[in-house]
Amino acid sequence: MKRTYLFILTLGALFLITGCTPKYASFEDVSKGNFKEADWNDLEGFEQDDLEHAFMVFKRGCEKAKRKAILKKACVQAQDYVSAKEFFQSNFTPYKLYDDHHSDEGLITGYYEPLLHGSRTKTDKYQYPIYKEPNDLVTVNLSAIYPELKRYRLRGKLVGNTLVPYASRGEIKESENMEAICYVDDKVDLFFLHIQGSGKVQLDTGEIINVGYANQNGRNYNSVGKYMISNGLLKEYGGSMQAMKRWFEDHPEETDRVLNVNESYVFFHENDQSATGSLGVPLVAKRNLAVDRKYIPLGVPVFIQTRNPLTKEDISQLMVAADTGGAIKGKIRADFFWGYGKEAEATAGRMKEAGKLFVLMPN
């Protein structure tokens, strides 16, 4: 009798557990995210948004995204529609993203395209190099041998016949393997250029050049901001990028030690275009997001609900996932591209808002 009672209790517990666990839609071929189908009415502000602008950004992304099987049909269909609203609602289904704790709320940060000041020649004023990809950096695409690792790259350098980790941020020095695009006047601004992934440099000749992400040293990204907060360095400064810059100005003797907490180091190339995302097309201010592509495929439309960190106004608009970033990891995680200039820097540097994401998956 006792065993029967315990058996019934166990079945009841299992029923409660399985009954309370949400069932998520599966898109295993393109995402490991937790998706729950939504109604278009759940996208509050969708019809009030500038959908024509979002449509234009989506079609621009199709220049590269149509190579992906998931978007091929939608990108072809986009050429036949005049109405943006009709296109999105006819060719996509909205799905809300959830995390592993069944919450629909995640973290939205911001990024921008910075402007640095530099010179083609190293001088006492301009002494911090923006490096090109070094000739001894080896990047291994693992998908040919391990298809399940197609999203991963192995980076390092050869010592004899052995691939070893590439030098960390603190270890990278000028050598015959390093060539600089130019040199800038501020090591902290250079560090934030590494974080943003692209930017502009105004040279001492007056010329403005664009620099974009070329590769990375393969080391893990570690957040310097989190380190500074957890160690009490920003207690009297605040938690924004601007607060970090003030701390570095006040503690120049500690700058290198703290920056080297992040061992990741980015190499750049000079290009004719302004900020270009991982999708391979120029980014559009306030219409492109950087995402974790394990959960959100590049090129898909994403409706975001968050708020402006400065004005506190709600943001409810359709964007396109067009970029990635070392710090952008998680099921409900996005980096909002604010564009170029001081206003973009001020907004992006302070953005650390809660937000919800609806991914529009092609029918």
pLDDT in tens, 151-165: 778 899 999 999 999
> For residue 21, what pLDDT band results from cuts at 50, 70 and 90?
low
Mean pLDDT of the chain: 91
* Residue 197: band (very low, low, confident or very high) from pLDDT cuts 50, 70, 90: confident
User: Greater confidence, 212 or 20?
Assistant: 212
Res. 10: pLDDT tops 60: no
Q: CB of 343 within 8 A of CB of 311?
A: no
Query: What is the per-residue pLDDT for 325?
Result: 85
Residue 24 has φ and ψ, to the nearest 5°, of -105, 150
Instruction: Tell me the C-alpha distance between 286 and 336, whole Å.
Output: 7
The one-letter code for the residue type at 10 is T
* Contact present, 307 and 313 (Cβ < 8 Å): yes
**Is residue 17 very low, low, confident or very high in pLDDT (cuts 50, 70, 90)?**
very low
Q: Sort residue 328 into left (φ over 0), alpha (ψ -120 to 50) or beta.
A: beta
**Mean pLDDT along residues 207-230:** 94
What is the percent of the chain where pLDDT is above 70?
93
| Alpha carbon distance 97, 300 (integer Å) | 14
Using left for φ > 0, alpha for ψ between -120 and 50, and beta otherwise, residue 45 falls in left
Q: Which two tokens stand for residue 331?
A: 């099921």
Task: State how far the Cα of 86 lies from the Cα of 94, in Å rounded to an integer.
Answer: 14
Task: Retrieve residue 139's tokens.
Answer: 């990047």
pLDDT for the residue numbered 330: 94
Order the strands of the 180-184 sheet from edge to edge: 128-131, 180-184, 115-119, 198-203, 208-216, 266-271
pLDDT in tens, 37-94: 999 999 999 999 999 999 999 999 998 876 778 999 999 999 999 999 999 999 999 9
Q: How confident is the model at residue 3 (pLDDT cuts 50, 70, 90)?
A: low
Q: Give the pairing of strands 333-340 and 115-119.
A: unpaired
* Phi then psi dihedrals of residue 91, to 5 deg: -115, -5
The C-alpha atoms of residue 299 and residue 190 are separated, in whole angstroms, by: 29
Beta strand 352-362 pairing with 106-113: antiparallel
Instruction: Reduce the DSSP state of residue 190 to 3 states and report it.
Output: helix
Q: Could you tell me where the DSSP H helices lie in the chain?
A: 2-20, 51-65, 69-77, 84-91, 187-196, 224-230, 241-250, 255-259, 342-350
Across 66-104, b (16+ Cβ under 10 Å) vs e yields bebebbeebbeebeeeeebbebbbebbbbbbbbbeeeeb
Predicted model pTM: 0.77
- Which DSSP helix (H) or strand (E) runs through 361? strand 352-362
Specify the pLDDT at position 8. Answer: 47
CA neighbor of 30 nearest in space, from 288, 277, 356, 299: 299
What would the mean pLDDT of 21-26 be, rounded to a whole number? 80
List pLDDT tens digits, range 294-339: 999 999 999 999 999 999 999 999 999 999 987 899 999 999 999 9
CA trace torsion 46, 52, 57, 62 (10° rounding): 100
Closest CA to 59 of 284, 253, 326, 224: 284
What pLDDT score was predicted for residue 20? Answer: 58
DSSP per-residue codes, 109-168: EEEEE-EEEEESS--SSS-EEEEPPPTT-EEEEGGGT-GGGTT-EEEEEEETTEEEPPP-
- In the block, tokens 């009415």 appear at 41
- How does pLDDT run across 273-288, given as a tens digit for each residue? 888 888 889 999 999 9
pLDDT number for residue 153: 81
Whole-angstrom Cα distance, residue 208 to residue 200?
7
